[in-house]
Amino acid sequence: MNVLGELLELAENEKAERGLAHTPAEIAQQPATWESTFALFRRQRAEIQEFLTTAGVGAADFGLRPAVVLIGAGTSDYVGQSLVYLLRRMWQCDVAAVPSTDLVTHAEELILPWRRQLWISFSRSGDSPEGVAVLREALEKRPNVVHLIVCCNAKGRMLSEIAGHPRALGICLDDAVNDRGLAMTSSFTNMTLFGQCLAHVGDLGRYEEILGELTAAGQSFLPVAAECAAELATMPFAKACMVGSGALRAVARESALKVLELTAGKTPTMSESALGLRHGPMAALDKDTLFVSFLSGSERVQKFEMDLMEEIGAKRLVRSRVAVGGDLPSRAKAVAEYWLAPATPLRVADDYRPLVDVMFGQLLGLFFSLRWKLRPDSPSPNGAISRVVQNVNIHA
């Protein structure tokens, strides 16, 4: 049995005592939940497609296509960031990820009031104070904006705010992916999957094939990623650096956040793009740093990433380098101490890989949390962070 399986087999009273009642299972369940989310989308596809068509998505006149804004806070923002490239390519319109935390304070500077817009909001709870505030303000004052809400909590305020509204559609995913642990894990991959379905709303059969590859890859990736994460957690790393390019930069950001959250900040983290790291942030690398690179499947992009890993090794900047990929090239073994890929090579575009790759970051967070003798389900002993953000005053 692999190390993740061992946690899942603990007695229920021990899980509760160690704060392991939810997080390991929520990480492990992900490939099994993806088909359920896809089935939910397929059942509601006609309604969703009609809503998107009315919003201007796919309009023959490019001038009538909306500017798409992907909205969320924290991990939910990274859901949007992971989808920007895919939605822009598939829908052929402007797409940007804008955090709800920025929209609360600077909406007037960020949003052009005359532009036709589709806002897609992602939220595990549907109760984020900033998300609710941004939605309310837009429903009241921005008639040029239509709203699609994707969340995991049927009782969330964002869904109740749009009930019956002519310019809004709400979708609630299965309650199984409404993560009960503090850190978002299965909610991240399932909301991301739903966004990938949106990109393929007119070509769902093709996405079903891609999802089959992702699910098989995820199932084979989990045990090897867990073993690697558990081994790395036994080493004296003081901090971690994650890099990725394109859609995989969102994976690097989310992975860095998972380690930071689940260790209550005891393992500081940073994230960057592969090319961006040299422009200052590389100064933070040292012998106590764990370096993780989510390698692109694009041969051209991969060359830049491999050059970076080679340079870091030649300068002996870090203790260990980890290469994570869908199908790792032979050169990866020369530039990394650890290399991870699904047992069956995953040769889909980078746009789809966040579902699989992010599980390594989640597992690093889990095992580093245990290393610090924290309770992964509630790893913030001083209450600095909580499952749903509280005490945010929304000022007019």
Residues 37 and 167 placed together within one structural domain of the fold: yes
Residue labelled with tokens 């087999």: 9
pLDDT in the model for residue 396 = 79
Confidence of residue 100 (pLDDT cuts 50, 70, 90): very high
- Predicted confidence (pLDDT) at residue 266 exceeds the cutoff of 80: yes
Q: What are phi and psi of 326, to 5 degrees?
A: -80, -30
Query: What is the model's pTM?
Result: 0.96
Higher-confidence position of 109 and 37: 37
Q: How many domains does the chain have?
A: 2
pLDDT in the model for residue 222 = 97
- The crossing angle, in degrees rounded to 10, of helices 186-199 and 354-371 is 170
Residues 176 and 289 placed together within one structural domain of the fold: no
pLDDT in the model for residue 340 = 94
- Predicted confidence (pLDDT) at residue 385 exceeds the cutoff of 90: no
Give mean pLDDT, residues 115-143.
94
| Domain span at 241 | 220-371
Residues 133 and 236 placed together within one structural domain of the fold: no
In a domain, 376, yes or no: no
Integer Rg of the chain from CA: 20
In a domain, 97, yes or no: yes
Residues 224 and 297 placed together within one structural domain of the fold: yes
- Predicted confidence (pLDDT) at residue 392 exceeds the cutoff of 90: no
In a domain, 378, yes or no: no
pLDDT tens figures, 282-307: 999 999 999 999 999 999 999 999 99
Q: What are phi and psi of 68, to 5 degrees?
A: -100, 125
- Predicted confidence (pLDDT) at residue 391 exceeds the cutoff of 80: no
Dihedral angle, C-alpha 130, 133, 135, 139, nearest 10 °: -160
Last residue of a domain, one of 149, 167, 202: 202
Dihedral angle, C-alpha 204, 217, 253, 227, nearest 10 °: 160
In a domain, 314, yes or no: yes
Residues 272 and 180 placed together within one structural domain of the fold: no
Residues 240 and 156 placed together within one structural domain of the fold: no
pLDDT in the model for residue 159 = 96
Last residue of a domain, one of 146, 170, 202: 202
Last residue of a domain, one of 202, 230, 255: 202
- The separation between the first and the last C-alpha atoms of the chain, rounded to the nearest angstrom, is 55
Residues 193 and 298 placed together within one structural domain of the fold: no
From the number of C-beta atoms within 10 Å of its C-beta (0-12, 13-18, 19+), residue 103 rates as: buried
Domain CATH code at residue 45: 3.40.50.10490
Give mean pLDDT, residues 142-170.
96
Residues 38 and 175 placed together within one structural domain of the fold: yes
Collapsed DSSP state (helix, strand, coil) of residue 343: coil
CB contact at 8 A, 242 and 258: no
pLDDT in the model for residue 1 = 62
Residues 153 and 69 placed together within one structural domain of the fold: yes
In a domain, 32, yes or no: yes
Residues 182 and 229 placed together within one structural domain of the fold: no
In a domain, 237, yes or no: yes
What the block records as the tokens of 260 is 């930071």
321 - beta bridge partners?
A: 291
What the block records as the tokens of 129 is 């104070």
pLDDT in the model for residue 114 = 83
Residues 166 and 67 placed together within one structural domain of the fold: yes
- Predicted confidence (pLDDT) at residue 56 exceeds the cutoff of 90: yes
pLDDT in the model for residue 329 = 78
CB contact at 8 A, 145 and 119: yes
What the block records as the tokens of 44 is 């509601």
| Residues 187, 30: Cα–Cα separation, whole Å | 9
Residues 48 and 163 placed together within one structural domain of the fold: yes
In a domain, 230, yes or no: yes
In a domain, 394, yes or no: no
Cβ count near 11 (within 10 Å): 8
- Predicted confidence (pLDDT) at residue 218 exceeds the cutoff of 80: yes
